[in-house]
Structure 1
Amino acid sequence: MKNTSILRVWTGAALLLATGVAAQAHQLWIGANRYQLSGPGEKPGPQTVYVHASWGHRLPVDEPPDPLRFAGYILFAPGSAPAPVASGEDGYRVARLDLEKPGLYWIAATYRPAFSTRVKTADGRQVYLPGPKDEAPADVAVQEGTLISDHAKTLLQVAGEGAREETLTQPVGHTIELVPLKNPALLAPGESLPLQVRFKGAAYQGDPVEVTTENSVATALGEPPRSIETDAQGRVDIPLAQAGVWLLVAAIVEPAPPELAAKADRVRYRCSLTFAVPAPGKP
């Protein structure tokens, strides 16, 4: 029986062979034109911010998201129910937000799940093709199939009297997510951000999870991303060496359920978290 919620798209073989491996390392993430906003009492009207979705791993912006897989934004505002956010229908899916209340806000998004299959070509190359194992071309040898589920969220802060921060540790309902246990906007460069990995609705417990960290300033200087592992309870302290925008990525891999055995060997759940650490002396 076919699962209509899972996207299965095949494109030209030449393009796939050229780009499949690089695409495997990409990740959905959300960026903003600013992450810390002044309080509504400091100027008339709400605070306006623009967010965009990116597919890749290069700050401050990478490739636009796949329009067939991008499932839209959800806003989590202090004291309010989650609400969908209208955005552009192409490109980077830019969305305008007018935030009224002082406090912390989450903007979350997901990709529709998709299959990726690693194959060996006739000339011995290992490449990735989009699609399930049972739809791979006959002239390649299937090595491994993966169902990939991507999730992303970004943290915005409106400063001001009476700012509400309970949203900070509020899960957004993704299968996997990184939950900060301190407000990164209140941390100084050189301090650490404690995080909790949540998986399938609960605090993760199990083998260490690798969290990859990238900073906008370090990226501009040509420094590579760094990785750190959680403990067995899914907790980790992320060193915030410098100010700027931070992109954190984590993944958990499980065997595919029996009903997907013909299509995939495993399921990879990935998530990203973006936020900003202000420079010393700046709000």
Structure 2
Amino acid sequence: MLKVLKKVNGLVLASAMTIGLTNVAFAHDFWLYSNDYNPNLAKLGASTKIYFGWGHGFPIDDPLSKDKVEELYIKNAKGKTIIEPKQASGVFVDKIVLKEQGSYVVGGIMQGGILSYTLDDKGDKVKHIGKGKKDGLKNLVSSTFYQKFAKAIINVGDSKDDVFSQPIGHTFEIIPLDNPKDLKQNDFISIKVVHNSKPVSGADVYATYAGFSKSGDFSYATHTNKEGIAKVRLSTLGHWMIKSNIQIEPTKEQKKDFDEISYSATINFEVY
């Protein structure tokens, strides 16, 4: 069982809160957003569209180039299929047609990178993207390797399988233990946070829904128990995003280039 290296920005959450919580994420958030999480199965299949989400204003914010996405795929009971994203205003992936009834998980991985900060001659912080300790930065304050992972849960018809609750192999991942299609307003959804398939104890968990905030605030916050499990109250109908992030200590070899590793994961679904 992995424990987080430290709380994000020193924020300690003693209990669940339902106030407006400022986004304490490491830079921008990454998510996968669908225009229809529960498409109807017709003769030619069930169609939906998947969008890249990037920034702080859920569900649609800043443009994101498809070149920044390392891998994008969809998984059902029969296996995993790679999706080739198509660019359109920086956010559009493509229409996908799902041929069978069941639950599907769309998974995306952003390219990892290094973010460092130094101090200039005036003592002000200067950001360096893609540069770490090995690049000879002077007056280095911090250097962090970061990577972001995202999932969306799609249900077609009367899905009864457990694909939604199966890990998809992301380094850092949020796994729903309940299928969102079976939940209603004010229900709690149980989720499990894992790193390399092992539960993460004490990980911060945040949630928000479309329309709550355009500036990155979250409507709900809690943290995982010793089994890596947390519960989020779904206070309204609509499109939801749950997010978690952790900072872990690098290996001795990795410390030659950065001081810390930061992972974040999101999962999106609809309550209707």
The aligned counterpart of 1:255 is: 249
Task: Check conservation: 1:24, 1:128, Cα contact below 8 A.
Answer: no
Asked which structure has the greater RCO (Cα within 8 Å, sep 6+), the reply is 2
The aligned counterpart of 2:155 is: 157
The aligned counterpart of 2:180 is: 184
The aligned counterpart of 2:73 is: 74
- Structure 1's consecutive aligned runs of 4 or more residues displaced over 6 angstroms after TM superposition are none
Once the two structures are superposed, what CA deviation does each residue of 1:233-264 show, in whole Å capped at 9, x if it has no partner? 21101011101111111112111112222210
User: Separation in 2 of the partners of 1:24 and 1:120?
Assistant: 19
The alignment yields a C-alpha RMSD, in angstroms, of 2.2
User: Separation in 2 of the partners of 1:69 and 1:87?
Assistant: 11
Q: What are the within-5 Å matches in structure 2 for residues 120-269 of structure 1?
A: 120-134=119-133, 141-160=139-158, 163-202=159-198, 204-206=199-201, 208-219=202-213, 224-225=217-218, 226-269=220-263
User: Separation in 1 of the partners of 2:255 and 2:222?
Assistant: 32
Give the CA deviation at 1:25: 2.3
Task: Check conservation: 2:65, 2:91, Cα contact below 8 A.
Answer: no
The aligned counterpart of 1:18 is: none
The aligned counterpart of 1:26 is: 28
Task: Check conservation: 2:164, 2:176, Cα contact below 8 A.
Answer: yes
Task: Tell me the secondary structure at the aligned position of residue 165 of structure 1.
Answer: coil
Give the CA deviation at 1:232: 1.8
Q: What is the one-letter code of the residue matched to 2:259? A: D
Task: Check conservation: 2:200, 2:224, Cα contact below 8 A.
Answer: no
The aligned counterpart of 2:11 is: none
User: Separation in 2 of the partners of 1:270 and 1:223?
Assistant: 15
User: Separation in 1 of the partners of 2:156 and 2:257?
Assistant: 45
Task: Tell me the secondary structure at the aligned position of residue 253 of structure 2.
Answer: helix
| Farther off after superposition, 187-196 or 22-31 | 22-31
Task: Tell me the secondary structure at the aligned position of residue 50 of structure 1.
Answer: strand
Task: Check conservation: 1:30, 1:53, Cα contact below 8 A.
Answer: yes
Task: Check conservation: 1:102, 1:158, Cα contact below 8 A.
Answer: yes
Task: Give structure 1 stretches of 5+ with no counterpart.
Answer: 1-21, 279-283
Q: What is the one-letter code of the residue matched to 1:114? A: G
Give the alignment's TM-score, normalised by structure 1: 0.80
| Farther off after superposition, 265-274 or 61-70 | 61-70
The aligned counterpart of 2:113 is: 114
Q: 1:119 to 1:67 in 2, by over 3 A?
A: farther
Task: Give structure 2 stretches of 5+ with no counterpart.
Answer: 1-23
User: Separation in 2 of the partners of 1:84 and 1:35?
Assistant: 19
User: Separation in 1 of the partners of 2:49 and 2:67?
Assistant: 22
Residue-pair matches, total: 247
Once the two structures are superposed, what CA deviation does each residue of 1:139-174 show, in whole Å capped at 9, x if it has no partner? x521111000111110011124xx232101111110
Give the CA deviation at 1:268: 0.9
Task: Check conservation: 1:133, 1:142, Cα contact below 8 A.
Answer: no
Task: Check conservation: 1:71, 1:109, Cα contact below 8 A.
Answer: yes
Once the two structures are superposed, what CA deviation does each residue of 1:253-283 show, in whole Å capped at 9, x if it has no partner? 11111222221001111111111111xxxxx
Give the alignment's TM-score, normalised by structure 2: 0.84
User: Separation in 2 of the partners of 1:258 and 1:95?
Assistant: 42
Give the CA deviation at 1:122: 2.1
The aligned counterpart of 2:39 is: 37
Task: Tell me the secondary structure at the aligned position of residue 195 of structure 1.
Answer: strand
Q: What is the one-letter code of the residue matched to 2:263? A: Y
Q: 1:194 to 1:256 in 2, by over 3 A?
A: same
User: Separation in 2 of the partners of 1:223 and 1:131?
Assistant: 24
Task: Tell me the secondary structure at the aligned position of residue 214 of structure 1.
Answer: strand
